[in-house]
Structure 1
Amino acid sequence: MIKDISIGRHVIGFKQPTYFIVDVAANHDGSLSRAKDLIHLAAESGADAAKFQNFQAGTIVSDYGFKSLAGQLSHQKKWPKSVFEVYEDASLPIEWTEELKNTCDVAGIDYFTAPYDLGLVPYLSKFSCAWKLGSGDITWLENIETLAKDGKPLLIATGAATSEDVRRAMDAARKHTDKIVLMQCNTNYTASLENFKYIALRVLTAYEREYPDVLLGLSDHTPGHSTVLGAVALGARVIEKHFTDDRGREGPDHAFSMGPKDWREMVDRTRELEAALGDEKKKVMKNEGETVVLQRRALRAKQPIAEGETLTRDKLISLRPCPEQGLPPYRIDELIGKSALREIPEGDCISLSDVG
């Protein structure tokens, strides 16, 4: 059974509202004031949390390694600088942490981070209410265990991973914590509409089967919110997407990020979906009670029936409406062969008290 977990000021659970995380990532563009503005804008747009990424270029990428590839891959080939230089520019000064946390508190949303440097974890732990493991670190078990041991909720993204990779990571995490959110993800950052073919939302159903006690989520980089609605319908309770105020800005993450208007639309449509999903019990709902009378058929006299007359099938007809005392058509055999205890006009509803 899935149990609720707490992240900051929010409770995350199967019966709780979907938890929306803004990934600021590199969209602060090296400016603390801009990062703070994005926090407030995210809160106004309906986000529940602002997530940052803490790294130093030298502890996440090898300058030599990327240069030796003799050509950058995927979206990185469009970057005007080397991969190492871009990560240097995008790195979040550790000195900003306390102010970012305080800004989130003022805005009324949670603050947490994805640490890509084990040396930063002890300091960040004083401020972060949860941890995010980026998809690229799913094979870095030392990091997974370090974060899991800290005792805070751990969100594990699974982009570009196999089932074996996920099991290995989950085994490492579950040795130390049960506060896990397992997130389906596709790590193509090109913002291409072709990417919808590769999101594989049904992986969430496989995760649900294999990890029935674990909360699920989606870390997404596609435009719009169709994948989000699909994921929520399949059981995801946590959604993470990149966020910016201007997709046209220069930087590695702006192009595939969501803006404030789109974010608000996504949250609003998700809240409608949550209301629409309801529970698994099929029942007559409060707002459709009158249609039980107006649209259902009741057994009625097809012709005038005299008192004492025997009821036969050809003397009965099923017609709307069906009042509370009426008999539905499937109960016709309870009337056949009975005698009318009163005179029944044509079209009148027949109840068990009318026959004997």
Structure 2
Amino acid sequence: MSVTIIAEAGVNHNGDLAMALDLVDAAAAAGADAVKFQTFKAEEIIGRHAPKAEYALRATGADESFLDMVRKLELDEAAHRALIRRCAERAIAFLSTPFDRPSLALLAGPLGLKTLKLPSGELTNAPLLLDAARSGCAIILSTGMSTLGEVETALGVLAFGLLDESEPPGAEAFARAWGTAAGRQRVAERVTLLHCTTEYPAAFADVNLRAMDSLAQAFGVRVGLSDHTPGIAVALAATARGATVIEKHFTLDRSLPGPDHQASLEPAELTAMITGIRQVEAALGDGIKAPAAAELKNIPIARKCLVARRAIAAGEMFTADNLAVKRAGGLASPLGYWARLGTAAQRSHEPDEPLDP
């Protein structure tokens, strides 16, 4: 199955619908499978005195509050519909991340999304997780900042919602749902976990890409990577390690004002990443160790064979003095060297002439 590549536009439209539409075009031109935005109501998700993250402070300064910064990045329902239309025109899937319950209801309801991407910061937001599970959508869940135990708890919430349990929700009910074979099966069918390092940009030493393997082994689900590192190397490595989804932030221009531009790829880099991922996929193959079709013609050229070191008369015994191993296009394998010693030549041979098989 081909890796799903999500070009994360996020809030890199700066609240401008025209720029958001340009981001759709850029993601489609780069060959991404989906372009993803963020859906939220600022007052629903940001407290009046909430501090800014360090990366946002570096990008936007301290004069503007976190709430004011986020409020300017909202897209209303009409903008979402315009983006969905543009995605349909450009044959790229539209995705968005809901950060609050009304936004999730909008995406899964009137806007008709079939897949929801939930961010790392919502991994402990049990009410949002439960709504996502009950929405009927497939779920992609990032796991930045979390332990395996926290991921398991989140999967319990999803299992409870996917099983449509009638008992009241709560920690014990979630644990029971995850403990059932049916709950785990529903999760495996509907949920993909993304390993993630929640820092912008993330240092290579903090990526811990092997944790992606740990998620797959611990929970039996599809896994992938939400990559915040500079460049494209880690995305290519994750593909080689079996990622089924790669998500990467991109922007039209890293020098634009806003919280996420500086940690994002520009369009040419996004194209290079997608090209590289597809090349890695092609290179992975089926795992069967056998000659590739393209190699077959090179076997008689590259492999050596048994030849006459000097002229050999018919009936003469083969010895270490008159046998050699060289590239000569013959079919007598050097593996038979010792079996030939002391046997008689069935015919005469010229110097460097291949022996008969």
TM-score (norm 1): 0.84
Residue 197 of structure 1 is matched in structure 2 by: 205
Q: Which runs of 4+ in 1 moved over 6 A?
A: none
Which residue among 95, 102, 121 is the counterpart of 1:136? Answer: 121
Q: Which runs of 5+ in 1 are unaligned?
A: 1-12
Residue 175 of structure 2 is matched in structure 1 by: none
Residue 3 of structure 1 is matched in structure 2 by: none
State whether residues 56 and 260 of structure 2, in contact with CA within 8 Å, keep that contact through their aligned partners in structure 1. Answer: no
Which residue among 219, 237, 243 is the counterpart of 1:236? Answer: 243
Q: What is the Cα deviation at residue 211 of structure 1?
A: 4.0
Structure-2 change in CA distance of 1:242 and 1:129 (3 Å): same
Mean CA deviation greater in 34-43 or 120-129: 120-129
Q: Distance in 2 between matches of 1:328 and 1:151?
A: 62
Which residue among 210, 222, 232 is the counterpart of 2:218? Answer: 210
Q: Distance in 1 between matches of 2:194 and 2:7?
A: 15
Structure-2 change in CA distance of 1:246 and 1:290 (3 Å): same
Structure-2 change in CA distance of 1:308 and 1:318 (3 Å): same
Structure-2 change in CA distance of 1:260 and 1:73 (3 Å): closer
Q: 1:34-113 to 2 correspondence within 5 Å?
A: 34-64=19-49, 66=50, 72-78=52-58, 79-80=60-61, 81-113=64-96
Q: Distance in 2 between matches of 1:121 and 1:156?
A: 14
Residue 195 of structure 2 is matched in structure 1 by: 184
Which residue among 335, 339, 356 is the counterpart of 2:344? Answer: 339
Residue 5 of structure 1 is matched in structure 2 by: none
Q: Distance in 2 between matches of 1:350 and 1:340?
A: 9
Q: Distance in 2 between matches of 1:149 and 1:340?
A: 80
Q: Distance in 1 between matches of 2:209 and 2:310?
A: 58
Residue 181 of structure 2 is matched in structure 1 by: none
1:178-207 deviation digits (Å, cap 9, x = unpaired):
222211111112x37xx1221111222223
Residue 10 of structure 1 is matched in structure 2 by: none
Q: What is the Cα deviation at residue 313 of structure 1?
A: 4.0
Q: 1:242-321 to 2 correspondence within 5 Å?
A: 242-321=249-328
Structure-2 change in CA distance of 1:305 and 1:259 (3 Å): same
Give identity over the alignment, percent. Answer: 31
State whether residues 97 and 124 of structure 1, in contact with CA within 8 Å, keep that contact through their aligned partners in structure 2. Answer: no
Residue type of the alignment partner of 1:220: D
Q: Distance in 2 between matches of 1:41 and 1:245?
A: 8
Q: What is the Cα deviation at residue 221 of structure 1?
A: 1.9
Mean CA deviation greater in 256-265 or 25-34: 25-34
Which residue among 145, 153, 178 is the counterpart of 2:138? Answer: 153
Q: Classify the secondary structure of the residue corresponding to 1:280.
A: coil
Matching of residue 29 in structure 1 with residue 14 in structure 2: yes
Matching of residue 349 in structure 1 with residue 357 in structure 2: no
Q: What is the Cα deviation at residue 31 of structure 1?
A: 2.0
Residue type of the alignment partner of 1:299: L
1:265-292 deviation digits (Å, cap 9, x = unpaired):
2112222222222231122222232331
Which residue among 90, 103, 106 is the counterpart of 1:123? Answer: 106
Q: What is the Cα deviation at residue 311 of structure 1?
A: 2.7
Residue type of the alignment partner of 1:215: R
Q: What is the Cα deviation at residue 132 of structure 1?
A: 0.5
Q: Distance in 2 between matches of 1:286 and 1:156?
A: 40
Q: Distance in 1 between matches of 2:311 and 2:7?
A: 70
State whether residues 295 and 321 of structure 1, in contact with CA within 8 Å, keep that contact through their aligned partners in structure 2. Answer: no
TM-score (norm 2): 0.84
The alignment's C-alpha RMSD in Å is 2.1
Q: Distance in 1 between matches of 2:18 and 2:230?
A: 26
Q: What is the Cα deviation at residue 321 of structure 1?
A: 2.5
Q: Distance in 1 between matches of 2:307 and 2:156?
A: 65
Q: What is the Cα deviation at residue 57 of structure 1?
A: 1.7
Residue 8 of structure 1 is matched in structure 2 by: none
Q: Classify the secondary structure of the residue corresponding to 2:72.
A: helix
Q: What is the Cα deviation at residue 150 of structure 1?
A: 2.3
Residue 9 of structure 1 is matched in structure 2 by: none
Q: Classify the secondary structure of the residue corresponding to 2:67.
A: helix
State whether residues 139 and 165 of structure 1, in contact with CA within 8 Å, keep that contact through their aligned partners in structure 2. Answer: yes
Residue type of the alignment partner of 2:128: N
Q: Classify the secondary structure of the residue corresponding to 2:246.
A: strand
Residue type of the alignment partner of 2:332: L
Q: What is the Cα deviation at residue 336 of structure 1?
A: 3.1
Structure-2 change in CA distance of 1:257 and 1:339 (3 Å): same
Q: Classify the secondary structure of the residue corresponding to 1:148.
A: helix
Q: What is the Cα deviation at residue 110 of structure 1?
A: 0.3
Q: Distance in 2 between matches of 1:145 and 1:327?
A: 68
Q: Distance in 1 between matches of 2:107 and 2:271?
A: 29
Q: What is the Cα deviation at residue 314 of structure 1?
A: 4.0
Q: Classify the secondary structure of the residue corresponding to 2:325.
A: strand
Q: Distance in 2 between matches of 1:333 and 1:351?
A: 15
1:62-101 deviation digits (Å, cap 9, x = unpaired):
224x26xxxx442233334111111212222233222221
- The alignment covers a number of residue pairs equal to 326
Residue type of the alignment partner of 1:179: R
Residue 180 of structure 2 is matched in structure 1 by: none
Q: Classify the secondary structure of the residue corresponding to 2:10.
A: coil
